[in-house]
Amino acid sequence: MRELDVMPRCEPETLRFGEIPKCRYSGTLRAEIEAGRITPQAAREMLETMFLVRAFEALIVDMKNNKFSPAPGFKFIGASHLSIGQEAVAVGVMAATRGDDYITSTHRGHGHSIAKGVYALRAMDAEQLKNWLGDPNAQGTREELLQRALKTHLYKTVAELFGKEDGYCRGRGGGMHIADFHLGHLGANAIVGGSSAIAAGAALAAQRLGEGKICVGIVGDGATNNGIFHEACNFAAQDQFKKGIPLLFVIENNQYGMTGQQAGEVTGVDYLARRGAAYNKEMMHAEVVDGMNVLAVWDAVLRGAALCRSDQGPVLLEALCYRYYGHSLSDNRTTYRTPEEEEAWRNNDPIARFSREVVAAGVMTQAEVAAMEQACTDAMRQAAIDAAASADPDPAQIEEGLFSNTMCDEVPARFKHTKLVGELRRARRDGQGRILYRHAIAEALAEEMLRDERVIFYGEDVADYGGAFQATVGLLAAFGRDRVFNAPISEACIVGTAVGAAMVGLRPVCEIMYIDFMGLTMDQTGNQAAKVRYMFGGKALVPMVVRTTVGGGKGYAGQHSQSLEAMCTMFPGLKVVMPSTAYDAKGLLKTAIRDNDPVIFIEHQLLYTERGVVPEEEYLVPFGQAAIRREGKDLTIVAYSRMVDVALEAAEMLAAEGIQAEVIDPRTLIPFDYDAVTASVEKTGRALLLCQAPETGCFAEHIAYQTQKRAWKSLKAPVRIVAAYNVPPPMSAVLEMENLPDAAKVVRNARELLAE
């Protein structure tokens, strides 16, 4: 399937880079109106939206300074990262994109959210507005419905800032994590740069789904120093994507990270747009834009969006702007900024500047501009009064929205007709109907990809090579590089793009070669995949699977042999699966792919060549249902993944001594079948928990706690854990064998437990 031979390229030459334009826009509003590019109404809407953004931020300042209170005794808490001075970027971006395009945003994203909502609502017809309002029988003209929707939009935005149930995210996210998936807003993100890969994944999905949408990933200047931003740019610009993905990165360069200054201090470049030169020959069509001029931003984004829609993305724009306040309202900014600097930027204020253009073009009078500004301030204060009086979330519902606990039971008609590009080979069963564990994995993937065109699969070396453990051989030949492709060695980006792709309609399966590498993904796994549904009010579906492996017994030492499954269970919002048999590997993986929540699917490297009976007929294995691998009455052994084989071997040895051990395989750690373990312990009175991870912090400690809590009266002895030593996995065969739990250790501990 290789399309390109990589031949020696050592001839002398000079590599050259193109030019990056800076502040190329020189138009005026009057000229734009005369040219027919902007209508007077569109100009009024631009100005009004900038006033709304500033009114929201000014509201926060006034509340913090006790100049305004929306209710007697009201106390505003939460983050206050303001973007006063940056309004032209938010409004210029949204005015130049479609209402149904996607955006990702930042912790300084109030303006993005307000502007996105305003422009998305303005683009709707009457029926769409009724649907968004949740009132299909609403009466009134389209304009009346729009005004009602805009008022609701402001109310829901302020309500989220206040942590109220009526907020966009039901108070779960607050001002730093606001989203409305109905309007294409995929979420503000408090992790600097954290949304970069999500934006790339959403853009990839938008292209694959063929809906003509683009994704605008808005990031701050500080985010461009973060690894995930660079990984996302590289991912988006891959040559193997024959059509450039529709991703438009807008760097909102307000000159400071928190206090660190981009130019002359924490970077080695004068303009961040230069970084586009690193990723493809087109330098991501990089451009520096005057971010204090809403028309300049609008013009650049129009051109960038056109490139994206014509398959020439990704695009990188740097908008030069300034935040008038500190990083937050607790930062007085005087330690790192001078009054002269602030005055120079304030003299170029984006709202004052555009107001002058509006008046000069004859669109509005100065009095009308002043009246519009006051109306926006009044509307925002009324929204605050209404939001302050609204209900707080019910503490009894604190867990609502964590999981959807839904499945894709029926594939939409448009995604049912999968086209194969080559022969799909099935694993040959032996005389007992058995196949290898790794073949069961490939078979599950193939069946789900045949069932649903939205399922894509990618990771490091998974395409031509079939993965490090040959578990995906044959998929590329059958489905082609649109559905199966190699990813760069960018683990964080692999997971992050899967999050974005899942949020907008694909069902990605991605692979992280070793669970040891999951540490590189922890922001995208723990702060993004695990949290986006709950943090955004339980509205998002994130149907993604991360396949990874645990090792041990192969001499791979401390960075390729760990059992870090407990790390994944620490993040509420993730489901964690660890199959021990080929039958379960196939059935659980199929369930994982159909599940509408993010799943970490952990395979053991030493199980790949084990055989098991795997039916050719369709079947699923449900989550949260343990399997009793062996029945017994004297002792309960709980083990998962390869440790089930160890437990069964130990049970055979114990049986020779007249001890009947019951072996329970939970199959999934999240959700966990506590009832099965409790019922067994109530029968046997003793519990031995077996896992390959180091004892301190292992998931067995959690099982022990739950077992003691649920079966305390039945226990005849303390719960015992048999685990690895509290050391990194050693390479030496002698040391590694000593470190790993084996049947002899289990038997010894079982005897001691029975003697207590």
Residues labelled catalytic: 560
Burial class from Cβ neighbours inside 10 Å (0-12, 13-18, 19+) for residue 100 reads middle
Residue 308 contacts residue 297 (beta carbons within 8 Å): no
Q: State which amino acid sits at residue 171.
A: G
Residue 510 contacts residue 517 (beta carbons within 8 Å): no
- The packing angle between helices 40-64 and 294-309, to 10°, is 110
Q: What's the distance, Cα to Cα, between the start and end of the chain in Å?
A: 62
Residue 163 contacts residue 211 (beta carbons within 8 Å): no
**Strands 627-630 vs 484-486: parallel, antiparallel or unpaired:** unpaired
Distances (CA, A) of 47 to 40, 92, 151, 348, 730: 11, 10, 17, 16, 64
**Of 197, 164, 163, 150, nearest in space to 45 by CA:** 150
Residue 248 contacts residue 215 (beta carbons within 8 Å): yes
Residue 440 contacts residue 582 (beta carbons within 8 Å): yes
**Strands 315-320 vs 287-290: parallel, antiparallel or unpaired:** parallel
Please tell me the distance from the alpha carbon of residue 380 to that of residue 378, in angstroms, as a whole number. Answer: 5
Q: Where are the alpha helices (DSSP H) in 65-167?
A: 87-96, 110-122, 126-133, 142-161
**Of 464, 430, 429, nearest in space to 443 by CA:** 429
**Of 726, 721, 719, nearest in space to 639 by CA:** 721
Q: How many CA atoms lie within 13 A of 272 on its CB side?
A: 32
Please tell me the distance from the alpha carbon of residue 755 to that of residue 448, in angstroms, as a whole number. Answer: 50
Task: Please list the helix, strand and coil fractions of the chain in percent, rounded to the nearest 5, in that order.
Answer: 45, 15, 45
Dihedral pair phi/psi, residue 83, rounded to 5°: -125, 30
- The packing angle between helices 142-161 and 366-388, to 10°, is 60
Cβ partners under 8 Å of residue 232, min gap 6: 196, 197, 199, 200, 217, 493, 496, 497
- Given CA atoms 40, 41, 47, 50 in this order, what sign does their dihedral have? negative
Cβ partners under 8 Å of residue 161, min gap 6: 60, 78, 110, 167, 174, 175, 178, 387
For tokens 């003509």, the residue is 212
Cβ partners under 8 Å of residue 4, min gap 6: none
Which two structure tokens, joined as six digits, stand for 460? 């490091």
Dihedral pair phi/psi, residue 102, rounded to 5°: -100, 150
Preceding amide of 729 cis, omega within 30: no
